[in-house]
Amino acid sequence: MALDLDGDISDEALLVAYGNGDRQAALALTTRLTPRVLGFACRMLGGDRAEAEDVAQEAMLRLWKQAPDWRQGEAKVTTWLYRVVSNLCIDRLRRHRSVDIDAIPEPEDGAAPVTERLIAEDRARALIAALATLPVRQRQAVTLRHIEGLANPEIAEILGISVEAVESLTARGKRALATALAPRREELGYE
């Protein structure tokens, strides 16, 4: 199977090919899924890059183990992976009790950011710090809905709750974020 970086072949087809011994499929799945897994883990763990890399590696390892027993048509590969990452992150958060918010670099005071990239980085850091203050379930729901861009039914499947519960979690999470970030509106570039 040719290396498929653009996504013409479904994740599931690639996983089945991997399970049948196709090495190119492993390359394609690695490049396609690792960034998504890492990004989600990083946001769930308050921006802790090292922890997020460990989670990403462990989640992908579990995917490789699952491949020979993968039951086609039952769940999307990404849904399954998000669930694994979610559980791994919860385990780590429980172990550490709380995310060290002080470890997240604060936006610099004083001079205004000079590029859009810097503004985006400042905003992303502020958001991750605020997300880290939310209850874990709200953090998961808001991240999956508004950053990962998943639909509510898929989030419900990942979290093992109803669609209505997802809607409630995201609404409460967003309200909490809006309140938590209000004092920082000027440094975020809002009037």
Partner 1 sequence: MNERNIRELDDSELDLLFEAARDTSPLPSPDLLARVLAGAEALQPGPPEPAAPAAAPGGRGASAGLFAGLLAAVGGWAAVAGLATATLAGVWIGYAHPDLAAGWAVAPSTEVVYDLSDFEPRYDDFTPLMEGS
Catalog residues that contact partner 1 under the rule CB under 8 A. Answer: 5, 18-23, 26-27, 29-31, 34-35, 38-39, 42-43, 49, 52-53, 56-57, 60-61, 64-65, 67-68, 117, 119-121, 123-124, 126-128, 146-147, 149, 174-175, 177-179, 181-183, 185, 188, 190
Minimum Å gap between C-beta 35 and partner 1 is 6
Question: Quick one: 110 or 149, whose CB is closer to partner 1?
Answer: 149
Question: Quick one: 98 or 171, whose CB is closer to partner 1?
Answer: 171
Instruction: Give the C-alpha separation, 151 to 175, whole Å.
Output: 19
Minimum Å gap between C-beta 138 and partner 1 is 14
Nearest to 60 by CA among 45, 44, 40, 46: 40
Cβ–Cβ < 8 Å for 148, 124: no
Question: Quick one: 26 or 165, whose CB is closer to partner 1?
Answer: 26
Minimum Å gap between C-beta 88 and partner 1 is 14
Instruction: Give the C-alpha separation, 153 to 147, whole Å.
Output: 16
Structure tokens at 172: 């409460």
Nearest to 158 by CA among 66, 89, 61: 89
Minimum Å gap between C-beta 72 and partner 1 is 16
Cβ–Cβ < 8 Å for 44, 92: no
Write b or e for each residue in 75-106: b if 16 or more Cβ atoms lie within 10 A of its Cβ, otherwise e: bbbbbbbbbbbbebbeebbeeeeebeeeeeee
Minimum Å gap between C-beta 121 and partner 1 is 5
Question: Quick one: 57 or 87, whose CB is closer to partner 1?
Answer: 57
Question: Quick one: 150 or 160, whose CB is closer to partner 1?
Answer: 150
